[in-house]
Amino acid sequence: MKTGRVFKPVLLAAVLLASAFYPVQARSKDSDETCCQPGRVESAKAIIAQAETFKMKASQFHTDSASLIRDAAKLRGQAASIDPNARKTYEADLAAFTEHANAYRAHQAEVERTIGFCKAAQAEYEQMLAQFTLHTQMFHQQNLPNVRPPHVCHQMGISTAESQKLNNQMRVDAERVANSEVELADAENKLNVAAARNASADAPLAARSKVLDAERQLTGEFAALKTEYDLLSNEHQALTASGTLKDKPVISKVSGKVKTK
């Protein structure tokens, strides 16, 4: 693998250096038509077309990766700003957490799409580089001094060199995206841990709230019963005093107290 990596830049430099020694006239369009090596011009043009396609994709990836990094930074800021421990803003924070989680999932999907695009473009670059290597082995031979290189070969060398530079830039962009995603994942993990801790703390509070609600309901029911008893007792006393009731029933007082914790 190391030999191949060293060979590619050296071979590319050798081709560019060799093409520089030929006069401009030797690289004219006329030489494209009079090239004595069958298939050389067609091969060079095909490589140029591949290089142009790759350069457009590399440029697109550079733009997309910058956008992903900005989005990741924004999401990190959101994750840091959400306070899952603030009781008075719990509902608002819960909505913000849900919105943030949805944005994070959408961001992850976009990252996967962009990285897939990058890998596909780099695979095309490797294929183009293999064809370029084959082209130089077939047509750029130093033991053929009388063969004048067509102009298209010089253009192919320049286009391939630009593609190599952009491929290196794609690797840098991909590494920056990866680092940004690591930082974002760390922020997401901290947020999730805090949210889980807050949920655990909320559980006993929620249970206590239910108990208090039940106690308030019981207090209200007891007060209603006490009022009803007082009314019945007064009515009984009035009936007894008027002689309407001859047998005096036994009525005991009702008392009670709701204990609050």
The three-point CA angle 10-11-16 to 5° equals 100
- Identify whether the C-beta of residue 75 lies closer than 8 Å to the C-beta of residue 186: no
pLDDT in tens, 49-85: 888 888 888 888 888 888 888 888 888 887 777 665 5
Using CB atoms within 10 Å of the CB of residue 236, give its burial: 0 to 12 exposed, 13 to 18 middle, 19+ buried. Answer: middle
Query: For the domain 2-211, what is the CATH code?
Result: 1.20.58
The span from the CA of 153 to the CA of 48, in Å, is: 9
Q: Read off the pLDDT of residues 104-148 as tens digits, 9 standing for 90 and up.
A: 888 888 888 888 888 888 888 888 888 888 888 777 766 555 656
State how far the Cα of 183 lies from the Cα of 105, in Å rounded to an integer: 16
Return d(Cα 223, Cα 78) in angstroms, integer.
Answer: 50
| Local confidence band at 34 (pLDDT 50, 70, 90 cut-offs) | low
* Sequence ranges of the domains in the chain: 2-211
**Average pLDDT over all residues of the chain:** 71
